[in-house]
Structure 1
Amino acid sequence: MKGQVVHSPAGERIVLDDVGQTVLLDNELVRVWDVALPPGQTHPWHLHHNPYVVLSISGSEARMDWLDGSEPRLLNEYRGGSVYRPLSPVHRLTNIGSRFYQNRLVELKDLGENRPEPLDIGPGDRSVEGQRPGPATGDGRLPVILHPHVSVWTVEVGGDEARKLDLSARPHVIAELARNGAVAHHPGGPLTLTGPGEWFVLELTY
């Protein structure tokens, strides 16, 4: 949470930043942030209070450093990929690659701040480039993550096409797979997307 004060093992006073840079959507279920880092830029120390889903719009090599001094974690996210993450210790993220890095970070409030204690989701899940966790759906969605808590697909719609998605009755987040793309909440049920474009479809399966 922005403004929260913590201390490093050496006693340095650290004022935490938000988990993202710009809020794109905020309702009773989710809070969606834009996270964008040009090469060499760092998103400052922050702490997650909700399990969250990362929807990768533009991937690059990145490094996650931990305030407690633990070994850094190296990442190489890719366009159209996704990560489902639990709460973790205070950390910061640096784009160490040569490409622009951007994602939509979706906080899941009902698994975190809306509960007396955040849910322990275990290790979460991560997509693997070039691999799908299941077959395409009948309406053309390609699976990215299929977890008991969240399901993520991508779907591409041609220029003159209007595609009807046969979504479940559960709430969804719909995010354009584009740098300045829109993000919307969908309460569930059929949804029509008009092309051209590509979207993430995130189902709150829990």
Structure 2
Amino acid sequence: MTAGTTVQAPDGTEVVLGEIGTRVLLENSRVRVWEVSLAPGEAQGWHLHHNPYVVLCLATSPCHMDWLDGSPARQLSETIGGSVYRPVSPVHMLTNDGDSPYLNRLIELLDLGEEASGEPYASSAMGEGSFASIGEVPAKVIIDDPDVQVLHVTPDAGETYTWIAGVHPTLVVDLDLDSPDVTYLQPGESYDLPAKATSTNGYNLVELRYYS
């Protein structure tokens, strides 16, 4: 069931499904990255996920998720830089209950859902990704799952680090609201996290571990 499909609620009401995000920021055969943006009091339309997905929070506000099948609503309380990994799920919608804007990056893992490309990467001698940096990099593990690993890094003002992707493709997501870039790295590629004049919300790095 894709956007534009009409489905029935338990009470017989017809509902037309919408998109799972506000706009697409990046798309290739492996991933599709959406922006989900909700103003205070705004609700996202009913929608259905066909692929497992990772959610990265850029701006937080109390939200709740309603389910078309009538299941109890789920209350959400996210933190900036935080992340969740979700499987495909029944038709639902998200509402911003707070007084602040809500903003996230939603990464669909196409290979693990209905849009599998069938073109796995060949294995190599490379291992996990790493930072090329002198001294200790303040990286925090947010998600440690066989499918994906998500790291959060918050460089100090003027600092930069270089991420070298290992055997796993990696998405680098800038959480700075003034420059919300999303960069996709192939295995073996490197990326310099841009130095910022002031300390920001940092970066999330999403390793696609299912290419092992």
What is the TM-score when the length of structure 2 is the normalising length?
0.82
Residue 145 of structure 1: aligned partner: 143
For 1:9 and 1:87, how far apart are their aligned partners in 2?
A: 20
Q: 1:171: which partner in 2?
A: 169
Q: Is the 8 A contact 1:157 1:194 kept in 2?
A: no
Q: Is the 8 A contact 2:138 2:155 kept in 1?
A: no
Alpha-carbon RMSD across the aligned residues, in angstroms, is 1.8
CA distance in 1 between counterparts of 2:152 and 2:166 reads: 16
Deviations 1:76-119 (A, max 9, x none): 11111100001111000001122211100000000002349xxx
Q: 1:172, CA displacement in angstroms? A: 0.8
Kept in 1, the 8 Å contact 2:165–2:186? The answer is no
Q: Report the alpha carbon displacement of residue 39 of structure 1 after superposing the two structures with TM.
A: 1.2
Indicate conservation of the 8 Å contact 2:55/2:83, yes or no: yes
Residue matched to 2:191: 191
Per-residue deviation, 1:167: 3.4
Comparing 152-161 and 25-34, the one that deviates more? 152-161
The one-character-per-residue Cα deviations of 1:20-60 (angstroms, maximum 9, x if unpaired) are 01000010000000001111110010000000000011111
Tell me which residue corresponds to 1:203. Answer: 207
Matches for 1:1-206 after TM superposition, within 5 Å: 1-115=2-116, 138-179=136-177, 180-189=179-188, 190-196=190-196, 197=200, 198-206=202-210
Q: Which residue type is aligned with residue 37 of structure 2?
A: A
**Larger Cα-atom Rg:** 2
**Partners of 1:24 and 1:40 in 2: CA distance:** 24
Distance 2:184 2:54 in 1: 15
The alpha-carbon deviation at position 138 of structure 1 amounts to 4.7
AA partner of residue 55 (structure 1): L
8 A contact 1:154–1:200 mirrored in 2: yes
Aligned to 2:120: none
Give, in whole Å, the separation in 1 of the partners of 2:49 and 2:176: 25
Instruction: Report the residue type matching 1:44 in the other structure.
Output: G
In the alignment, residue 77 of structure 1 is paired with which amino acid? E
Give 1:12 shift.
1.2
Structure with greater proportional strand content:
1
Q: For 1:194 and 1:15, locate their aligned partners in 2 and report how far apart those are by CA, in whole Å.
A: 42
* Distance in 2 separating the partners of 1:55 and 1:156: 15
What is the identity percentage for the equivalent residue pairs of Structure 1 and Structure 2? 43
CA distance in 1, matches of 2:116, 2:181: 28
1:163 Cα deviation from its structure 2 partner: 1.3
Secondary structure in 2 matching 1:42: coil
- Paired with 2:18 and 2:62, the residues of 1 have a C-alpha distance of 22
Query: C-alpha distance in 2, partners of 1:28/1:138?
Result: 34
Structure 2 residues without counterparts, runs of 5 or longer: 118-134
